[in-house]
Structure 1
Amino acid sequence: MSIFASDPRGLLTKLFGEAVSAADPMRIVAAHLPERPKGRLLIIGAGKASARMAEAVEEHYGPCEGLVVTRYGYERPTQGIEIVQASHPVPDAAGEAATRRMFDLVSGLGPDDHVIALISGGGSALLCAPAEGLTLEDKMAVNTALLASGAPIGEMNVVRKHLSRVKGGQLAAACDPARLLTLLISDVPGDDPSEIASGPTVGNTTTAQDALAIIKQRGIDLPARVANVLAGQNHVVPPDDPRLKRAETKIIAAPSLSLGVAAAIAEKAGLDVRLLGDAIEGEARDLGQTQARLAMTLQSEMTTNDKPILLLSGGECTVTRRGDGVGGPNAEFVLSAALALNGKAGIHVLACDTDGVDGAAEVAGAYAGPDTIAKAELAGVSLQVSLNRNDAHSFFAAIEGQIVTGPTLTNVNDFRAILVFPRS
C-alpha cells in the first residue's frame, strides 16, 4: 500500500477509471446480442452511451440499418447506423427532429422484423417528442425548472413521460408488431428499467396526476399549455398493453457492477472496502457532510496497524440552485465534504459522474485532500462562499482539483470514494 499512500489522488482516480471501463459498451454489449436474426434488423437508441453501443453492435454484426441519438461530442464511427447528436440535459430541435425520424423508421414494421433499442442515461433529454398541444420550448422550460428545483431523477422522469409522445413505453408501442430487444445501461438508483431514459421502450405505471403532484411540490409555475396536457387523458403505455407482448428488456451495465469492480481492485490493493450503497440519493451538500462525518468517526476508531478504509457509494445526488455559480452534484459533494473535514489529515475524497459530465460542465468531478483548505487560501477562494453560490467547479478549477476525462461514452451514475488512513 505504500505506493498508494504516497498518491491517494492517483489511487482514487484509478479506481474511478476502472469503474468506468467496466461499463464500456465495447466490453459488454456483444455478450447480450442474439444471433443475427433473419429478415430486417433495425437498430435504434438514445443516450450518452448509445453511439458507443451502436459501434459495439456493428463490431459484432457488421453494418446495420438504424438511427441513434447521443449528446454533442459523443459521436462514434459506425458503418451503417446513423449517429445524430443533440443537446443534454435540456433538449433541443436536433433531438426533436431525430425522434421524429426514428418514429418514421419503425412505422410499418411487420411481425418478422426485429428491432434492437440501445438505451442509456441521458436518453430522456435526447429523445424528445412533445405531447400533442405542446412545443419544444414548453418542454425545455419545464425541464430547466425541474433541474433548478433539485428534483431527483425519478421525479423528473415522471413529469417528462407525461409531456412526451415517445417516453413511457410509447416508442415500444410504435415498433409493434416487430420483435423488440432493449439493451439498457442503467444510470438510475435502483436500476428500474422504466426510469432509465424515462423508459421509451418499457411500460409505465405512473399517471399525469402524479406528474402534477410533483410540479406542485416543487413549486414550479407551469405554462398554460403544459397544465392543460397534464390535466387531460393519460397517453403513456401500461406494462400489460398488448403492443408490448413481443418486447424484451435487459440491463447490461449498472452502478452496482461498476462499484463492484472498483471494490475488488481496492481490496486486492490492500484496502478495507465499505460499500455504502449504489442507489444513494439526496442533496449533494448534505450527503458530502454525512459521509465526511462517517469518515472521521471511522478514523477515530482505527489503530495505526489497521488497513486504510475505502468508502464507496453510487447513486445520483441533486443540487438545489441557491446561487449563480458553476457547479454539479459531484463537485458540490466534494466541496461540502472538504468543508466538513476542515483539513483533517489522512482523509481524501473523490466524486465523479461516470459519463464525464458533472451537471452541465465538461468536468467529471473533483478531488479534495487534507491540503485543500491551504490551497484555497493561496488561490484566494473560499469553500463556504463557493458552496453558498453553487460554484464548486470554479473552486476546484482554482486549486487544480478538477477531474477531467472528456466523454467516457458510458453512464452508470455517480462514483463517490473516500479514502481514510489511520491517524499518524
Structure 2
Amino acid sequence: MTQATQAVEIWKAGVAAVDGYNATQKALGSVPKPDRILAVGKPAAAMASAALDHFGQVPTLVVTKDGHADDLPSHVQLIEASHPVPDARSLTGGRALREAVEAMGQEEHLLLLVSGGASSLAEDLVRGKTLDDLAALNKDLLSTGLDIHAMNAERRKISQIKGSGLLSRFSGKRVTVLAISDVPGDDLYVIGSGIGALPDTPAFQATASIIASNAHARADAAEAAQKAGYAVHLNEEALHDDYLAIAAKIGAQIRNMEPGAMIFGGEPTVTLPDKPGRGGRNQALGLALAREIAGCEGITVVIGGTDGTDGPTSAAGAMIDGTTWAEGAESALSRADSGSFLDQAGALLVTGPTGTNVMDLIVAIRV
C-alpha cells in the first residue's frame, strides 16, 4: 500500500465512523415508533434508510442534495435540491416539510432527522422574499468568508422554518430529533440554520440528540492511524479560520513533525474574488498547504469534506505531498482556481457521496 493510499484509508475510516446510516441505527434503540419521519440534509437518505429498516414502513419525506438518495423505498417522498446555492426545489422541500409538520395529529410522534446542508436544501421564505433574494443571500454569504454561525444567523432572518420555526408549528404529542453535526460546538440551533431546533417552551414531549460529529470522525481516524503504525502527535478541531491562516499554522506543524500522524477537523473560510475559478474550501486549503510543505519528503496530506463534496464540485478535496506545488500553483490559488490545478496534477480527492456530513477532515502522515 502506498503512503497516499494509506492516508486516504485513514481519512475514510474517520468518515465511516460518522456514516449517517450507522449513526442513526445506533441511536434508535430507545426511540418509539414514529408516525412520520422527516429527514433533511446531505446524509438525509442514509439516516432515513436506517430508521425505516429499524421501524418498518412509516410515512417518510426526504429532502436532500442531488445524487445523494440511492436505494430509498418506493413509498418515500423524495425531494432533491441544490447545494450550496438553493434553487426552486429548495422552496418545494421547505414547504413540504412545513406542511408535513402542520398536518400531524395531536397524539402523533414525529422523528426528525437533521444534518448539514439543510440550510440550502430546504427553505420556506417569509412573506415578501423570493428565490432570487435567497439565492443572492447565499451567494453573498459563501463569498464573504463568514463562519457558519454568522451565515446561519443571516439565513434565519428570512425563513419560516429555520431557528425552531419548523417545530413551532408542531401540534402533536412527541418529537424526537436526531442530528448529525456539521458545525463547531454541535449546536442544534446552528445545524441546518436551526431547522431541527426546539421552541423555547415546546408544548410537546421532546428529545434532541447529536448522534455524530467531527470529534467522532477525528477519533476514529486517529485510531486507524495508530493501527497502521503511526504515532498520533495532534488531534484537534483547528480549521475554523481563513484558509490561508490555517495553512500557515498547521503547515508549519506538519512540515516539522516527527514521523507519525496529525489529525485536524473543522471548516475553513474562503473569501472569493468576483469571478472565482473551480474548487471549494478544501481544494483551496489543500493547495495552500502544498505550498507550505513544498520540497518536504515523506509527507502526505489528505483533506476533504466528510460529505464527499467540496463547494460546487464533485471532488471532496485534495491529496497532496511535497511535490504537488509547482508552476502555475500560485496563480491558481490567487484566482480561486485550485481545483483546476489539482485536477491537472492528479491531486484531487474524489469519493462520491459518503452518507454523512461533519465538516472537514485532514489526515497528515509522515514516514
Task: Tell me the secondary structure at the aligned position of residue 237 of structure 2.
Answer: strand
CA distance in 1, matches of 2:11, 2:268: 17
Task: Tell me the secondary structure at the aligned position of residue 98 of structure 2.
Answer: helix
Deviations 1:195-248 (A, max 9, x none): 111111214xxxxxxxxxxxxxxxxxxxxxxxxxxxxxxxxxxx52344x5221
Contact residue 255 and residue 292 of structure 2 kept, 8 A:
no
Change (3 A) 1:341 1:36: closer
Could you say which residue in structure 2 is the equivalent of 1:361?
Answer: 313
Contact residue 316 and residue 349 of structure 2 kept, 8 A:
yes
Could you say which residue in structure 1 is the equivalent of 2:363?
Answer: 417
Give every structure 1 segment of 4 or more consecutive aligned residues whose post-TM-superposition deviation is greater than 6 Å: none
Contact residue 36 and residue 61 of structure 1 kept, 8 A:
no
| RMSD, matched Cα | 1.7
CA distance in 2, matches of 1:298, 1:23: 28
Deviations 1:143-187 (A, max 9, x none): 101101111111111111111000000111112333110110111
Could you say which residue in structure 1 is the equivalent of 2:200?
Answer: 240
Deviations 1:51-73 (A, max 9, x none): 11111111111111021200011
> What is the identity, as a one-letter code, of the residue corresponding to 2:87?
D
Could you say which residue in structure 1 is the equivalent of 2:170?
Answer: 175
> What is the identity, as a one-letter code, of the residue corresponding to 2:290?
A
CA distance in 2, matches of 1:182, 1:279: 28
Contact residue 285 and residue 336 of structure 1 kept, 8 A:
yes
Could you say which residue in structure 1 is the equivalent of 2:110?
Answer: 115
Contact residue 182 and residue 358 of structure 2 kept, 8 A:
yes
2:303 aligns with one of 324, 329, 351: 351
CA distance in 2, matches of 1:36, 1:343: 54
CA distance in 2, matches of 1:70, 1:408: 13
Q: CA deviation at 1:134?
A: 0.8
Q: CA deviation at 1:128?
A: 0.7
- The answer to whether 1:165 aligns with 2:116 is no
Task: Tell me the secondary structure at the aligned position of residue 209 of structure 2.
Answer: strand
> What is the identity, as a one-letter code, of the residue corresponding to 1:357?
T
Deviations 1:251-302 (A, max 9, x none): 1111101111110111122211133423630111221221111122334xxx
1:143 aligns with one of 120, 135, 138: 138
Task: Tell me the secondary structure at the aligned position of residue 221 of structure 2.
Answer: helix
Q: CA deviation at 1:36?
A: 6.8
CA distance in 2, matches of 1:183, 1:409: 15
- The answer to whether 1:389 aligns with 2:335 is yes
CA distance in 2, matches of 1:46, 1:184: 10
Structure 1 runs not aligned, ≥5 long: 204-238, 300-307
CA distance in 2, matches of 1:31, 1:21: 14
Could you say which residue in structure 2 is the equivalent of 1:98?
Answer: 93
Could you say which residue in structure 2 is the equivalent of 1:124?
Answer: 119
Deviations 1:392-412 (A, max 9, x none): 110110010111111112111
Q: CA deviation at 1:349?
A: 1.6
Query: Which structure would you say has the larger Rg?
Result: 1
- The answer to whether 1:277 aligns with 2:233 is no
Tell which deviates more after alignment, 68-77 or 104-113.
Answer: 104-113
Q: CA deviation at 1:34?
A: 4.9
Could you say which residue in structure 1 is the equivalent of 2:38?
Answer: 44
Contact residue 236 and residue 264 of structure 2 kept, 8 A:
yes
- The answer to whether 1:10 aligns with 2:5 is yes
Task: Tell me the secondary structure at the aligned position of residue 409 of structure 1.
Answer: coil
Could you say which residue in structure 2 is the equivalent of 1:216?
Answer: none
Task: Tell me the secondary structure at the aligned position of residue 249 of structure 1.
Answer: strand
- The answer to whether 1:19 aligns with 2:14 is yes
Give TM-score scaled by structure 1 length: 0.82
- The answer to whether 1:320 aligns with 2:271 is yes
Count of matched residue pairs: 365
Contact residue 184 and residue 252 of structure 1 kept, 8 A:
yes
Q: CA deviation at 1:81?
A: 2.4
Could you say which residue in structure 1 is the equivalent of 2:262?
Answer: 311
CA distance in 2, matches of 1:10, 1:388: 29
CA distance in 2, matches of 1:65, 1:73: 22
Tell which deviates more after alignment, 140-149 or 27-36.
Answer: 27-36
CA distance in 1, matches of 2:285, 2:158: 31
CA distance in 1, matches of 2:169, 2:30: 24
Q: Percent identity?
A: 34
> What is the identity, as a one-letter code, of the residue corresponding to 1:405?
T
Task: Tell me the secondary structure at the aligned position of residue 298 of structure 1.
Answer: coil
CA distance in 2, matches of 1:382, 1:402: 16
> What is the identity, as a one-letter code, of the residue corresponding to 2:219?
G
Give TM-score scaled by structure 2 length: 0.95
> What is the identity, as a one-letter code, of the residue corresponding to 1:91?
P
> What is the identity, as a one-letter code, of the residue corresponding to 1:71?
K
